[in-house]
Amino acid sequence: RDLFFKIFIVIGYLFNHESVYRGKDFLLWKILKAVDEARNGNFDPIKFGNLKLIRDWGYAPEYVVGFYKSLLQVVPDDYIFCTGKTGTIENLIQVFFEYNDLNWKEKIEIDANLFRNNEPEIICGNPN
């Protein structure tokens, strides 16, 4: 690449990533809230949108390691941060609930109003 202004520029394309630092309005925290309430005996359902969506989820701290390594390269480049593996939102919910010996179907309610227009059914990165 031409370093016109002699600026080292790296571009990172990030696929879905989660960590404990993610905001409370994001999916992971919504699932954790549902699990916590179910464990504490509150069985008022929590509303979710389309559980059949398929996503490529990674762990944010591992992506940060990738950012750091991309900045150590001699030549700047574009990088894709993803896992190349997918899972449904429903499966993610199921894993959290089963880990806590809970039935997710008693706590989760699907609300068509939470479906997004033009939401891609599958989002998966290619780490190659």
Per-residue pLDDT 10s for the chain (128 aa) are 555 677 889 999 999 998 888 888 888 889 999 999 999 988 788 899 999 999 999 999 999 999 999 999 999 999 999 999 999 999 999 999 999 999 999 889 999 999 999 999 999 999 88
**Other beta carbons within 10 Å of 36:** 11
* Residue 7: both structure tokens together: 């600026």
Calculated CA dihedral for residues 47, 49, 51, 57, nearest 10 degrees: -100
- pLDDT at position 77 is 94
- pLDDT at position 127 is 86
pTM over 0.85: no
